[in-house]
Chain A
Amino acid sequence: MSRLLTISDIYLEGRSEEVWQPIINGVSLTLDKGEVLGLIGESGAGKSTLGLAAMGFVRDGVRIKSGTVNFDGTELTTASADTKRALLGKRIAYVAQSAAASFNPAHRLIDQHIEAPVQHRVRSRSESIRDGMDLYARLRLPDPDHIGFRYPHQVSGGQLQRAMTAMAMACRPDLIIFDEPTTALDVTTQIEVLAAIREIVEQFGTAAIYITHDLAVVAQMADRIKVLLTGDEVEEADTRTMLSTPKEDYTKSLWAVRGFTRPVKPPVPAGQIPLVSIKGVTAAYGKVKVLEDVSFDIPPGRTVAVVGESGSGKSTAARCITGLLPPVEGQILFDGAPLPPNYKKRSKDQLRQVQMIYQMADTALNPRMSIGQIIARPVQFYMGLRGSALQNRVNDLLNQIELPPEQYAHRLPSELSGGQKQRVGIARALAAEPRMIICDEVTSALDQLVAEGILRLLAKLQDELGLAYMFITHDLATVRAIADSVVVMKDGRVVEQGTKEEVFNPPHHPYTDLLLSSVPEMDPDWLDNLLSSRGVDNIGDAAADKISVES
């Protein structure tokens, strides 16, 4: 195998607040032809910046301080713009995290696909179109001869991500950089994309750098893994060695995250009135029905996880409970008494009892209010506290979420990390002293270590305050960690519900089975085994579409 890419001792710096701050401190990496290297680390570890530097490219406000990037004999750090232009797109390609944001919505897929081969004079226009259809077929996109003539908004997210991989392949590059290509996708969609990417990379013998924060994903894709932590290399080893015997403590802690589970609570006593009970709820946006005859109970002090893919109606169920979307049929009972369907008709006390924590802490906190103000408002609003009593309560709440008040109360949300923002969201919900909190995908935008911290905090608060949680998520690992009972939803209906043991142990409903089997595992052979046992056409969304949920 011959050497394709050598990055040696590279230092990258980013400009913030008028000074250059280090992003990458002297990392080296090598990549042979046809080899796949996985780069993992938390957000802020510098893995995307390093991935871009492998193309000789830096974002605005970032510079290469020292070090070399040698791609197949060409030194990219000092190469002229013309030299780089000849390489990028042709021999080095890039697949971005959000395909939806990276495709130009005003042009058809195929027009964007053929741009690189025609520009680089690799192929003529008509040959490029034919080749594009061939690549679409290899990536198992439905109707490969015509899908390219659609606009980006006319295909699904997973299909778009595969179309982007096809686009990167258009010039048959020697190196592709995948920057978190499946992070924003559902598990069943993710598995399709993973299988497609791996197959095509193997077929063409392309080398790849695969950037992700998901260990189980990288285990399927990479030959070697490199772990980064705040710009420093932690360790590097081939995949099997890394998975079986990680050397550094940091790597071990990453591996251990998935180990968090809570003790099983005693079963809910029969005859106990559930805190919130959803009875036969049907809801619709205009004429489109999004929930059909959904019923489940949330007992006091328990965690009910609602699981499903995007579009399954799990967030809509939460909107019905909060009263943002009054149901067409059915009732929401709180402590046995029906709640008014519209939140505007509910009393202040009814509103106080059910609080919500949002997925994106960025948009859930007013960016112009300090943390102290954000938390103080519900206390002031519901409890009527003022002056030092209010101050004390805010300080208590900040202590409860493990953010020291003297340090954080005056900060703005933009001065906090993602996990800290999510903690503030929790504190705001707690400030109302509710009996139930709806957690809408609260950990899916966070790194694994941070997410685990949030889960532990939520568990601690439940034990202390006897809160009930409705936990909306698509991540089954989270469900395993925190739930007492599980509700599985698909296409606006409840497919299966029961205690965690009942749902996670066979016999499964076929859809639950598909969901469970689509969650990547740490075993590097997992994808191979799954493909050989199920067949390439029976995984992911294709399989999900075959399952009917008509009751």
Chain B
Amino acid sequence: MSVWLWIVLAFVGMGALAWAGRWAGQVATSNAPRFRDMPFGVAFGYVFAAACIIGGIWLWFLPGAVFFRWAVQGFVLFAIAAFIFRLVFRHVGTAATKRLFRAMPLTAAFGILVIIIYAILAIFAGAIAPYGQSEILGAANVVPGGDPAMGGNPLYPLGTDQIGRDILSRLIYGAQNTVGIAFVTTLIAFFLGGSLGFLAATVGGWLDQLLSRAVDVLMAIPGLIFSLLLMTIASVWADGEKALLTVYMILIIAVIDSTRVFRLARAVGTGIVVMDYIEAARLRGEGMGWIVFREILPNAMAPLLAEFGLRFCFVFLTIASLSFLGVGIQPPLADWGTMVRDLGPFINFAAFAPLVATAPLMAAGAIALLTVAVNFVVDWMLQKSSGLKE
């Protein structure tokens, strides 16, 4: 029987179960509103969630599902860590931070914890990392885990790469390079796009037309291909100077990404500019600086912050992609994108040697974790700032 038929059958079965369950609930509670007014979709959702949990438990005990077990263990571990982190800061610190942590959802605590850990790793990379990022040690391709019986080495807990560099050290230095550069790039993109966008919204007329059309032109070219093109030109200008090339990369990605920020800032700005308090400020004779930074910016903070979280992740992924394609952060500097590219082929071992296959996943996981963490924090900030309005 084909897979599709099984899927259809499973859904029909769950539907029947949902209907029966709702009916049973109605009979058992003698038509309590909870069951009486329950739409079928909700009943189905309960059954589906139950099925997912059962499936998860079944998967846990399957011998081959190593990665799933790791993922669940990691998830539970981080949740516990975030919970303890929040608990500690509810009782330590100033009255304001205590209040902040008391109203904080667990997801936000998780996000903040991860960002703090990344920040510490990035700032103190030199002190924390056991080896240098480009230091070539003895053995190549040592398996992670540090268990000699499995082909690991306790000196290199996360193993070594294909030319014998310690992966743990490179991951830590990667935080410094990738995250630091992404952060600076996003900041520049926001300053550029945000101020120009608000300016276009406030002044309007020909300036708005000029800026908007220029941005349209830039946006018309696919981002990654455009940055690849510019990076190729920049690498000629940089003439082998690696630090200079990195600066060029930051500027190129910042300018390309600032077009998205410009669009958002302009759209939000035009909504705010028509407000009476902006008119009052204009009639008072205020200058452009006051109107943009004191009247418009505070009111546009919520959507801009949300965009900052997203944009940061995208910039980060763009840098990783550029490095993956060979024009981003230059070797031997450690960078997560490059690490994924270099170790990528090992993923083919996943079926029979899961430990070997984890080599590229660690850098990929680092990217994923930071992306999720940043978005959790941004979501929470958004919720807080929109709650203030009401």
In the complex, the answer to whether B277 meets A363 with C-beta atoms within 8 Å is yes
Contact B276 A364 (CB under 8 A): yes
Please tell me if B216 contacts chain A, counting CB pairs below 8 Å: no
**Do B298 and A366 touch (CB < 8 A)?**
yes
Decide: B33 and A80 in contact? CB cutoff 8 A: yes
How does the 8 Å CB contact mask read for B274-312 relative to A, with 1 for contact and 0 for none?
A: 011101101111100000000100110100000000000
Q: How large is the interface on B (under 10, 10 to 19, 20 to 34, 35 or more residues)?
A: 20 to 34
Assess whether A360 is interfacial by the CB under 8 Å rule.
yes
Is B242 interfacial (CB 8 A cutoff)?
no
For residue B239, which residues in chain A have a CB less than 8 angstroms away from its CB?
none
Task: Determine the distance from Cα of A324 to Cα of B279 in the docked complex, in whole angstroms.
Answer: 9
Q: How many A-B pairs with Cβ below 8 Å?
A: 56
Give the residues in chain A near B284, CB-CB below 8 Å.
Answer: 351, 377-378, 381-382, 432
Contact of B280 with A364 in the complex, beta carbons under 8 Å: yes
Contact flags A336-373 to B (C-beta < 8 A → 1, else 0) = 00000001001010010001101010011111110000
Residues of B within 8 A of A (CB): 33, 36-37, 275-277, 279-280, 282-286, 295, 298-299, 301, 388-390
A351 to B287, CA, bound (A): 13
User: Are A80 and B36 closer than 8 Å at their CB atoms?
Assistant: yes
| C-alpha spacing A377/B390, complex, angstroms | 25
Place the interface of chain A in its size category.
20 to 34
CA distance A35 to B354 in the complex (A): 78
Q: Does A81 contact B (CB under 8 A)?
A: yes
A residues in contact with B282, CB < 8 Å: 324, 343
- Report the minimal beta-carbon distance from B227 to chain A, rounded to whole angstroms: 35
Distance in angstroms between the alpha carbons of A363 and B299 in the assembled complex: 12
Return 29 A-B CB contacts under 8 Å, by A number: A78-B33, A80-B36, A81-B37, A322-B283, A324-B282, A343-B283, A343-B285, A346-B285, A348-B285, A351-B284, A358-B280, A360-B276, A363-B275, A363-B277, A364-B276, A364-B277, A364-B280, A366-B277, A366-B299, A367-B299, A367-B389, A368-B298, A368-B301, A369-B298, A381-B286, A382-B284, A412-B388, A414-B390, A432-B284
Q: Which of A322, A366, A367, A382 has the most CB of B within 10 A?
A: A366
- Interface-central residue, A346, A377, A382, by most chain B CB under 10 Å: A377
Residue of A nearest to B390 (CB): A414
Residues in A whose Cβ lies below 8 Å from that of B285: 343, 346, 348, 351, 381
Query: Nearest chain-A residue to B31 (Cβ)?
Result: A80
Report the minimal beta-carbon distance from B202 to chain A, rounded to whole angstroms.
13
Nearest B residue to A80 by beta-carbon distance? B36
Chain B residues near A369: list those with CB within 8 A.
298
Residue numbers in B under 8 Å from A348 (CB-CB): 285
A-B pairs, top 8 by smallest CB distance, nearest first, are A368-B298, A364-B276, A81-B37, A358-B276, A366-B277, A351-B285, A363-B276, A363-B275
Q: Across the interface, which residues of B come within 8 angstroms of A302, CB to CB?
A: none
Q: Contacts A80-B33, A80-B36, A381-B285 given: A356-B389 contact, CB under 8 Å? A: no
Q: A348-B285, A363-B275, A365-B277 given. 7 additional CB < 8 A pairs?
A: A80-B36, A81-B37, A323-B283, A364-B276, A412-B388, A414-B388, A428-B280
Between B36, B275, B285, the greatest number of chain A beta carbons within 10 A of the residue's beta carbon is seen for: B285
Shortest B104–chain A CB gap in Å is: 14
**Docked pose: A369 CA to B277 CA in angstroms:** 11
Distance in Å from the Cβ of A460 to the closest Cβ of chain B?
23
In the assembled complex, the Cα of A377 lies from the Cα of B277 at a distance in Å of 12
